[in-house]
Protein backbone atom coordinates (compact mmCIF):
# COMPACT_ATOMS: atom_id res chain seq x y z
CA UNK A 1 0.00 0.00 0.00
CA UNK A 2 2.86 2.37 0.74
CA UNK A 3 1.85 3.42 4.24
CA UNK A 4 5.39 3.38 5.58
CA UNK A 5 6.70 5.34 2.62
CA UNK A 6 4.06 8.01 3.14
CA UNK A 7 4.69 7.97 6.88
CA UNK A 8 8.40 8.61 6.38
CA UNK A 9 7.67 11.46 4.01
CA UNK A 10 5.25 13.06 6.43
CA UNK A 11 7.49 12.80 9.46
CA UNK A 12 10.90 13.16 7.82
CA UNK A 13 12.58 10.83 10.23
CA UNK A 14 15.31 12.42 12.27
CA UNK A 15 17.58 9.49 12.54
CA UNK A 16 20.72 10.99 14.02
CA UNK A 17 19.82 10.16 17.59
CA UNK A 18 17.52 7.33 16.86
CA UNK A 19 20.23 5.32 15.17
CA UNK A 20 21.87 4.81 18.54
CA UNK A 21 18.93 2.98 20.02
CA UNK A 22 19.03 -0.68 19.23
CA UNK A 23 15.69 -2.35 18.90
CA UNK A 24 13.62 0.66 19.78
CA UNK A 25 12.58 2.24 16.58
CA UNK A 26 12.42 -0.59 14.17
CA UNK A 27 8.67 -0.38 14.11
CA UNK A 28 8.08 3.29 14.22
CA UNK A 29 4.40 3.94 14.21
CA UNK A 30 4.19 7.48 15.52
CA UNK A 31 5.93 10.57 14.30
CA UNK A 32 5.82 14.31 14.30
CA UNK A 33 5.69 16.47 11.22
CA UNK A 34 5.35 20.14 10.52
CA UNK A 35 4.09 22.29 7.68
CA UNK A 36 5.00 25.93 8.19
CA UNK A 37 3.79 26.77 11.68
CA UNK A 38 1.47 23.80 11.91
CA UNK A 39 2.81 20.78 13.75
CA UNK A 40 0.98 17.49 13.45
CA UNK A 41 1.17 13.97 14.70
CA UNK A 42 1.03 10.99 12.38
CA UNK A 43 -0.03 7.53 13.47
CA UNK A 44 0.80 4.71 11.10
CA UNK A 45 -1.62 1.93 11.90
CA UNK A 46 -0.27 -1.58 11.72
CA UNK A 47 -2.70 -2.93 9.23
CA UNK A 48 -6.29 -3.77 9.19
CA UNK A 49 -8.41 -6.86 9.16
CA UNK A 50 -11.67 -5.55 10.61
CA UNK A 51 -13.23 -8.97 10.87
CA UNK A 52 -10.39 -10.74 12.69
CA UNK A 53 -11.60 -12.26 15.94
CA UNK A 54 -8.36 -13.16 17.67
CA UNK A 55 -4.59 -13.22 17.43
CA UNK A 56 -2.24 -10.61 16.15
CA UNK A 57 -4.59 -9.37 13.43
CA UNK A 58 -7.26 -8.79 16.04
CA UNK A 59 -4.81 -6.87 18.25
CA UNK A 60 -3.76 -4.78 15.29
CA UNK A 61 -7.36 -4.03 14.41
CA UNK A 62 -7.98 -2.88 17.99
CA UNK A 63 -5.01 -0.54 17.84
CA UNK A 64 -6.17 0.76 14.50
CA UNK A 65 -9.67 1.35 15.80
CA UNK A 66 -8.36 3.31 18.74
CA UNK A 67 -6.13 5.40 16.49
CA UNK A 68 -9.07 6.13 14.20
CA UNK A 69 -11.29 7.12 17.11
CA UNK A 70 -8.71 9.58 18.34
CA UNK A 71 -7.63 11.04 15.03
CA UNK A 72 -8.74 14.42 13.79
CA UNK A 73 -8.46 13.15 10.24
CA UNK A 74 -8.17 9.64 8.86
CA UNK A 75 -6.13 9.12 5.70
CA UNK A 76 -7.42 5.98 4.01
CA UNK A 77 -4.74 4.83 1.62
CA UNK A 78 -5.59 2.57 -1.30
CA UNK A 79 -3.43 1.14 -4.03
CA UNK A 80 -3.87 2.71 -7.48
CA UNK A 81 -2.02 -0.08 -9.27
CA UNK A 82 -4.04 -2.82 -7.68
CA UNK A 83 -7.37 -1.08 -8.10
CA UNK A 84 -10.39 -1.48 -5.86
CA UNK A 85 -10.44 -4.60 -3.67
CA UNK A 86 -13.22 -6.14 -1.53
CA UNK A 87 -11.03 -5.34 1.45
CA UNK A 88 -11.21 -1.61 0.62
CA UNK A 89 -14.98 -1.87 0.78
CA UNK A 90 -14.95 -3.50 4.21
CA UNK A 91 -12.67 -0.81 5.54
CA UNK A 92 -14.86 1.90 4.02
CA UNK A 93 -17.90 0.48 5.83
CA UNK A 94 -16.01 0.50 9.08
CA UNK A 95 -14.70 4.04 8.61
CA UNK A 96 -18.12 5.35 7.71
CA UNK A 97 -19.54 4.00 10.99
CA UNK A 98 -16.90 5.79 13.05
CA UNK A 99 -18.07 9.17 11.82
CA UNK A 100 -14.50 10.46 11.64
CA UNK A 101 -13.55 12.66 8.68
CA UNK A 102 -11.86 10.49 6.08
CA UNK A 103 -9.69 11.38 3.11
CA UNK A 104 -9.57 8.70 0.47
CA UNK A 105 -6.08 8.71 -1.01
CA UNK A 106 -4.98 6.69 -4.01
CA UNK A 107 -1.28 5.87 -3.92
CA UNK A 108 1.21 4.63 -6.51
CA UNK A 109 -0.27 6.88 -9.16
CA UNK A 110 2.99 7.87 -10.81
CA UNK A 111 2.88 7.64 -14.57
CA UNK A 112 -0.86 6.94 -14.66
CA UNK A 113 -3.70 9.06 -16.01
CA UNK A 114 -5.81 10.68 -13.31
CA UNK A 115 -9.12 9.35 -14.59
CA UNK A 116 -7.73 5.87 -14.93
CA UNK A 117 -6.44 5.90 -11.38
CA UNK A 118 -9.54 7.19 -9.66
CA UNK A 119 -12.43 5.77 -11.65
CA UNK A 120 -12.51 2.51 -9.69
CA UNK A 121 -12.63 4.19 -6.33
CA UNK A 122 -15.69 6.40 -6.86
CA UNK A 123 -17.68 3.30 -6.09
CA UNK A 124 -16.70 3.65 -2.44
CA UNK A 125 -18.81 6.79 -2.23
CA UNK A 126 -16.17 8.79 -0.46
CA UNK A 127 -16.07 11.66 -2.91
CA UNK A 128 -13.15 12.67 -5.10
CA UNK A 129 -10.10 10.63 -4.22
CA UNK A 130 -6.77 12.39 -3.72
CA UNK A 131 -4.07 11.03 -5.93
CA UNK A 132 -0.50 10.80 -4.76
CA UNK A 133 2.72 8.95 -5.26
CA UNK A 134 4.27 8.45 -1.85
CA UNK A 135 7.44 7.08 -3.38
CA UNK A 136 7.94 10.10 -5.66
CA UNK A 137 6.38 12.64 -3.32
CA UNK A 138 3.78 13.80 -5.85
CA UNK A 139 0.71 15.30 -4.20
CA UNK A 140 1.94 14.69 -0.66
CA UNK A 141 2.32 18.35 0.23
CA UNK A 142 -1.23 19.16 -0.90
CA UNK A 143 -2.50 16.13 0.95
CA UNK A 144 -1.03 17.33 4.24
CA UNK A 145 -2.39 20.82 3.78
CA UNK A 146 -5.86 19.49 3.04
CA UNK A 147 -5.68 17.15 6.03
CA UNK A 148 -4.65 19.99 8.34
CA UNK A 149 -7.39 22.28 7.04
CA UNK A 150 -9.87 19.51 7.67
CA UNK A 151 -8.46 18.88 11.15
CA UNK A 152 -8.66 22.52 12.16
CA UNK A 153 -12.24 22.66 10.95
CA UNK A 154 -13.06 19.80 13.34
CA UNK A 155 -11.89 21.73 16.36
CA UNK A 156 -14.32 23.89 18.31
CA UNK A 157 -14.06 27.47 17.16
CA UNK A 158 -11.70 29.77 18.94
CA UNK A 159 -10.21 26.89 20.82
CA UNK A 160 -6.90 28.67 20.76
CA UNK A 161 -8.41 31.58 22.62
CA UNK A 162 -9.99 29.39 25.23
CA UNK A 163 -6.58 28.17 26.25
CA UNK A 164 -5.30 30.44 28.95
CA UNK A 165 -1.72 31.47 28.65
CA UNK A 166 0.37 28.58 29.84
CA UNK A 167 2.58 29.48 32.68
CA UNK A 168 6.00 28.15 33.48
CA UNK A 169 7.41 24.78 32.56
CA UNK A 170 5.04 22.56 30.63
CA UNK A 171 5.34 19.03 31.93
CA UNK A 172 4.01 15.82 30.42
CA UNK A 173 3.81 12.97 32.90
CA UNK A 174 3.83 9.74 30.94
CA UNK A 175 4.02 6.04 31.66
CA UNK A 176 1.97 2.95 31.25
CA UNK A 177 -1.14 2.31 33.32
CA UNK A 178 -0.59 1.60 37.02
CA UNK A 179 2.89 3.07 37.36
CA UNK A 180 1.49 5.71 39.70
CA UNK A 181 0.86 8.78 37.56
CA UNK A 182 -2.36 9.86 39.24
CA UNK A 183 -0.83 9.19 42.64
CA UNK A 184 2.05 11.51 41.79
CA UNK A 185 -0.29 14.21 40.51
CA UNK A 186 -2.29 14.05 43.74
CA UNK A 187 0.88 14.15 45.80
CA UNK A 188 2.25 17.10 43.84
CA UNK A 189 -0.96 19.05 44.00
CA UNK A 190 -1.84 18.08 47.55
CA UNK A 191 1.43 19.29 48.97
CA UNK A 192 1.27 22.73 47.58
CA UNK A 193 -1.09 25.57 47.24
CA UNK A 194 -3.04 24.34 44.28
CA UNK A 195 -4.29 26.67 41.66
CA UNK A 196 -5.52 23.81 39.55
CA UNK A 197 -8.62 24.00 37.47
CA UNK A 198 -10.08 22.26 34.48
CA UNK A 199 -10.54 24.04 31.22
CA UNK A 200 -13.97 23.41 29.78
CA UNK A 201 -14.47 23.55 26.05
CA UNK A 202 -10.99 22.57 25.06
CA UNK A 203 -10.00 19.55 23.03
CA UNK A 204 -11.69 16.30 23.87
CA UNK A 205 -10.98 15.28 27.47
CA UNK A 206 -8.15 17.72 27.73
CA UNK A 207 -6.85 18.61 31.15
CA UNK A 208 -4.30 21.23 31.89
CA UNK A 209 -3.25 21.83 35.42
CA UNK A 210 -1.30 24.92 36.31
CA UNK A 211 0.32 24.71 39.72
CA UNK A 212 2.91 26.39 41.81
CA UNK A 213 5.74 24.86 43.78
CA UNK A 214 8.45 26.62 45.72
CA UNK A 215 7.36 29.84 44.11
CA UNK A 216 7.75 28.44 40.59
CA UNK A 217 5.07 27.96 37.98
CA UNK A 218 4.38 24.70 36.17
CA UNK A 219 1.64 23.35 33.96
CA UNK A 220 0.89 19.66 33.79
CA UNK A 221 -0.51 18.91 30.39
CA UNK A 222 -2.95 16.37 29.21
CA UNK A 223 -1.90 13.26 31.04
CA UNK A 224 -3.34 10.25 29.26
CA UNK A 225 -5.36 7.80 31.31
CA UNK A 226 -6.11 10.21 34.15
CA UNK A 227 -9.46 11.68 35.07
CA UNK A 228 -10.32 14.35 37.54
CA UNK A 229 -12.93 13.59 40.13
CA UNK A 230 -13.60 16.45 42.49
CA UNK A 231 -10.28 17.36 43.93
CA UNK A 232 -8.51 14.12 43.25
CA UNK A 233 -7.16 12.60 40.10
CA UNK A 234 -7.68 8.95 39.40
CA UNK A 235 -6.51 6.51 36.80
CA UNK A 236 -8.85 5.22 34.12
CA UNK A 237 -8.24 1.89 32.51
CA UNK A 238 -7.68 2.99 28.98
CA UNK A 239 -4.19 3.88 27.83
CA UNK A 240 -4.07 6.20 24.86
CA UNK A 241 -0.95 6.21 22.75
CA UNK A 242 -2.14 9.19 20.74
CA UNK A 243 -2.84 11.28 23.81
CA UNK A 244 0.48 10.35 25.34
CA UNK A 245 2.29 11.40 22.19
CA UNK A 246 0.32 14.61 21.95
CA UNK A 247 1.19 15.58 25.48
CA UNK A 248 4.86 14.79 24.85
CA UNK A 249 4.98 17.03 21.81
CA UNK A 250 3.30 19.87 23.69
CA UNK A 251 5.59 19.64 26.71
CA UNK A 252 8.90 21.26 27.50
CA UNK A 253 9.90 18.51 29.89
CA UNK A 254 8.68 14.93 29.98
CA UNK A 255 8.63 12.96 33.22
CA UNK A 256 8.78 9.32 32.21
CA UNK A 257 7.48 7.20 35.04
CA UNK A 258 8.56 3.59 35.47
CA UNK A 259 7.51 1.02 38.03
CA UNK A 260 10.48 -0.19 40.09
CA UNK A 261 8.61 -3.38 40.89
CA UNK A 262 8.07 -4.34 37.24
CA UNK A 263 10.39 -5.03 34.35
CA UNK A 264 10.74 -2.37 31.70
CA UNK A 265 8.22 -3.10 29.00
CA UNK A 266 8.15 -2.53 25.29
CA UNK A 267 5.60 0.20 25.91
CA UNK A 268 8.05 2.06 28.18
CA UNK A 269 10.71 1.79 25.50
CA UNK A 270 8.34 3.07 22.83
CA UNK A 271 7.44 6.12 24.87
CA UNK A 272 11.12 6.80 25.58
CA UNK A 273 11.89 6.48 21.88
CA UNK A 274 9.26 9.04 21.03
CA UNK A 275 10.58 11.47 23.61
CA UNK A 276 13.97 11.21 21.93
CA UNK A 277 12.51 11.82 18.51
CA UNK A 278 10.67 14.94 19.55
CA UNK A 279 13.76 16.12 21.38
CA UNK A 280 11.91 17.04 24.55
CA UNK A 281 13.80 17.33 27.80
CA UNK A 282 13.44 14.28 30.00
CA UNK A 283 13.53 13.18 33.62
CA UNK A 284 13.04 9.55 34.54
CA UNK A 285 11.06 8.81 37.71
CA UNK A 286 11.32 5.25 38.98
CA UNK A 287 8.31 4.93 41.25
CA UNK A 288 7.29 2.53 44.04
CA UNK A 289 10.78 2.62 45.51
CA UNK A 290 9.26 2.18 48.96
CA UNK A 291 9.01 -1.31 50.37
CA UNK A 292 11.97 -2.70 48.37
CA UNK A 293 14.88 -4.51 50.02
CA UNK A 294 18.25 -2.89 49.51
CA UNK A 295 19.56 -5.91 47.58
CA UNK A 296 16.66 -5.56 45.19
CA UNK A 297 17.30 -1.86 44.86
CA UNK A 298 20.90 -2.40 43.82
CA UNK A 299 19.88 -4.96 41.27
CA UNK A 300 17.13 -2.76 39.84
CA UNK A 301 19.51 0.18 39.52
CA UNK A 302 22.05 -1.86 37.60
CA UNK A 303 19.38 -3.29 35.34
CA UNK A 304 17.88 0.13 34.59
CA UNK A 305 21.26 1.69 33.86
CA UNK A 306 21.91 -1.00 31.33
CA UNK A 307 18.52 -0.92 29.65
CA UNK A 308 18.17 2.85 29.63
CA UNK A 309 21.69 3.44 28.44
CA UNK A 310 20.34 5.48 25.51
CA UNK A 311 18.74 7.94 27.95
CA UNK A 312 21.99 8.69 29.73
CA UNK A 313 21.53 12.44 29.18
CA UNK A 314 18.53 12.33 31.55
CA UNK A 315 18.55 12.27 35.35
CA UNK A 316 16.96 9.29 37.01
CA UNK A 317 15.14 9.54 40.34
CA UNK A 318 13.92 6.84 42.65
CA UNK A 319 10.74 8.01 44.26
CA UNK A 320 7.60 7.02 46.06
CA UNK A 321 4.60 8.92 44.79
CA UNK A 322 2.53 7.28 47.51
CA UNK A 323 4.80 8.24 50.40
CA UNK A 324 5.76 11.57 48.83
CA UNK A 325 9.43 10.63 48.92
CA UNK A 326 11.96 12.07 46.48
CA UNK A 327 9.58 14.58 44.92
CA UNK A 328 11.68 17.67 45.69
CA UNK A 329 14.81 16.40 43.93
CA UNK A 330 12.68 15.18 41.03
CA UNK A 331 11.25 18.66 40.50
CA UNK A 332 14.74 20.15 40.77
CA UNK A 333 15.77 17.97 37.86
CA UNK A 334 12.70 19.12 35.95
CA UNK A 335 13.88 22.73 36.44
CA UNK A 336 17.40 21.81 35.44
CA UNK A 337 16.25 19.97 32.32
CA UNK A 338 14.06 22.92 31.36
CA UNK A 339 16.94 25.36 31.82
CA UNK A 340 19.16 23.17 29.66
CA UNK A 341 16.51 22.79 26.97
CA UNK A 342 16.01 26.56 26.80
CA UNK A 343 19.67 27.51 27.17
CA UNK A 344 20.75 30.55 25.25
CA UNK A 345 24.03 29.66 23.55
CA UNK A 346 25.66 32.60 21.82
CA UNK A 347 27.78 32.24 18.71
CA UNK A 348 31.02 33.42 20.41
CA UNK A 349 30.57 30.93 23.28
CA UNK A 350 29.71 28.08 20.94
CA UNK A 351 32.58 28.89 18.62
CA UNK A 352 35.02 28.98 21.52
CA UNK A 353 33.77 25.63 22.77
CA UNK A 354 34.11 24.25 19.27
CA UNK A 355 37.71 25.44 19.03
CA UNK A 356 38.51 23.84 22.38
CA UNK A 357 37.04 20.57 21.23
CA UNK A 358 39.11 20.63 18.04
CA UNK A 359 42.30 21.53 19.91
CA UNK A 360 41.86 18.49 22.14
CA UNK A 361 41.04 16.18 19.29
CA UNK A 362 41.01 16.95 15.60
CA UNK A 363 38.61 15.24 13.23
CA UNK A 364 40.33 12.68 11.03
CA UNK A 365 40.70 13.31 7.35
CA UNK A 366 38.75 11.09 5.01
CA UNK A 367 40.54 10.35 1.76
CA UNK A 368 41.59 13.73 0.46
CA UNK A 369 38.94 15.52 2.53
CA UNK A 370 40.04 17.36 5.62
CA UNK A 371 37.04 18.65 7.53
CA UNK A 372 37.46 22.19 8.74
CA UNK A 373 35.01 23.55 11.29
CA UNK A 374 34.89 27.33 11.40
CA UNK A 375 32.16 28.46 13.76
CA UNK A 376 28.92 27.35 15.43
CA UNK A 377 25.59 29.02 16.08
CA UNK A 378 22.43 28.00 17.86
CA UNK A 379 19.71 26.85 15.48
CA UNK A 380 16.92 26.19 17.97
CA UNK A 381 15.78 25.42 21.52
CA UNK A 382 13.99 22.58 23.27
CA UNK A 383 16.00 20.71 22.03
CA UNK A 384 19.02 22.92 21.61
CA UNK A 385 20.36 22.65 18.08
CA UNK A 386 23.98 23.50 17.46
CA UNK A 387 24.79 24.24 13.84
CA UNK A 388 28.44 23.91 12.90
CA UNK A 389 29.68 25.68 9.78
CA UNK A 390 32.80 24.83 7.84
CA UNK A 391 34.20 22.94 4.88
CA UNK A 392 34.19 19.25 3.97
CA UNK A 393 32.03 18.47 6.98
CA UNK A 394 30.63 15.40 5.23
CA UNK A 395 33.86 13.73 6.25
CA UNK A 396 33.02 14.01 9.94
CA UNK A 397 32.28 10.61 11.43
CA UNK A 398 29.46 9.72 13.80
CA UNK A 399 31.83 8.99 16.69
CA UNK A 400 33.39 12.42 16.25
CA UNK A 401 29.95 13.99 16.20
CA UNK A 402 29.21 12.24 19.48
CA UNK A 403 32.51 13.51 20.85
CA UNK A 404 31.47 17.07 19.95
CA UNK A 405 28.07 16.57 21.49
CA UNK A 406 29.61 15.44 24.75
CA UNK A 407 32.00 18.37 24.73
CA UNK A 408 29.17 20.90 24.26
CA UNK A 409 27.11 19.13 26.87
CA UNK A 410 29.89 19.32 29.44
CA UNK A 411 30.88 22.88 28.58
CA UNK A 412 27.36 24.27 28.92
CA UNK A 413 26.15 21.83 31.55
CA UNK A 414 23.27 20.62 29.41
CA UNK A 415 21.74 17.96 31.64
CA UNK A 416 18.36 16.46 30.86
CA UNK A 417 17.89 17.53 27.27
CA UNK A 418 18.70 15.86 23.98
CA UNK A 419 21.12 17.90 21.92
CA UNK A 420 21.25 18.05 18.15
CA UNK A 421 24.37 18.76 16.17
CA UNK A 422 23.97 19.82 12.55
CA UNK A 423 26.85 20.15 10.14
CA UNK A 424 26.69 22.70 7.35
CA UNK A 425 29.33 22.83 4.69
CA UNK A 426 29.74 26.28 3.15
CA UNK A 427 29.86 26.86 -0.56
Sign for the pseudo-dihedral over CA of 346, 351, 356, 358: positive
Q: Is residue 244 close enough to count as binding ligand GDP by CB under 6 A? A: no
Residues 125, 291, 328, 348: which binds ligand GDP (CB under 6 A)?
Answer: 291
Sign for the pseudo-dihedral over CA of 8, 242, 246, 331: negative
- 178 vs 391 by CB, closer to ligand GDP: 178
Cα separation of 391 and 321, whole Å?
52
Instruction: Decide: 230 and 246 in contact? Cβ < 8 Å.
Output: no
Q: Is residue 390 close enough to count as binding ligand GDP by CB under 6 A? A: no
- Which backbone phi and psi does 316 adopt, to 5 degrees? -115, 135
Please give the radius of gyration of the chain, using alpha carbons only, rounded to the nearest integer: 24
Residues 80, 180, 384, 390: which binds ligand GDP (CB under 6 A)?
Answer: 180
Instruction: Decide: 206 and 290 in contact? Cβ < 8 Å.
Output: no
Residues 182, 246, 252, 278: which binds ligand GDP (CB under 6 A)?
Answer: 182
Residues 322, 358, 385, 415: which binds ligand GDP (CB under 6 A)?
Answer: 322
229 is in an annotated binding site: no
Task: Count residues binding ligand GDP (CB under 6 A).
Answer: 18
Q: Is residue 181 close enough to count as binding ligand GDP by CB under 6 A? A: yes
Q: Which residue is nearest to ligand GDP (CB)?
A: 180
Cα separation of 171 and 165, whole Å?
15
Cα separation of 258 and 265, whole Å?
9
Residues 183, 247, 278, 336: which binds ligand GDP (CB under 6 A)?
Answer: 183
DSSP state of 82: T
Residues 108, 170, 288, 317: which binds ligand GDP (CB under 6 A)?
Answer: 288
Binding mask 195-234 for ligand GDP (x = CB under 6 A): ------------------------------xx--------
- Residue 106, classed as helix, strand or coil, is strand
DSSP state of 121: G
Q: Is residue 290 close enough to count as binding ligand GDP by CB under 6 A? A: yes
Which range, of 122-130, 179-187, 371-379, 398-406, touches ligand GDP by CB under 6 A?
Answer: 179-187
- 240 vs 287 by CB, closer to ligand GDP: 287
Instruction: Decide: 205 and 226 in contact? Cβ < 8 Å.
Output: no
Residues in the chain: 427
Q: Which residues bind ligand GDP (CB under 6 A)?
A: 175, 177-183, 225-226, 235, 287-288, 290-291, 320-322
Amino acid sequence: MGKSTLFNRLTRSRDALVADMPGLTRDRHYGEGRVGERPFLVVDTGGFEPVAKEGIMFQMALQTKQAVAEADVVVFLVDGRQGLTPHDKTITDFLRKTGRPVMLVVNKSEGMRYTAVVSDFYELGMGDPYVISAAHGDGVHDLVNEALDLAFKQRPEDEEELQPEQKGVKIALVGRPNVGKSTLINTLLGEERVIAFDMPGTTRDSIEIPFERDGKQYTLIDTAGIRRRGKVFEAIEKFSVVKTLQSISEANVVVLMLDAQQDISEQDAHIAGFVLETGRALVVAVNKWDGLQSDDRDEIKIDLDRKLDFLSFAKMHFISALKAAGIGPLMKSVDQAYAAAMANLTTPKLTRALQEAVEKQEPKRKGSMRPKMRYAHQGGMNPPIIVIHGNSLDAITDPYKRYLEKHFRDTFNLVGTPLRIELRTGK
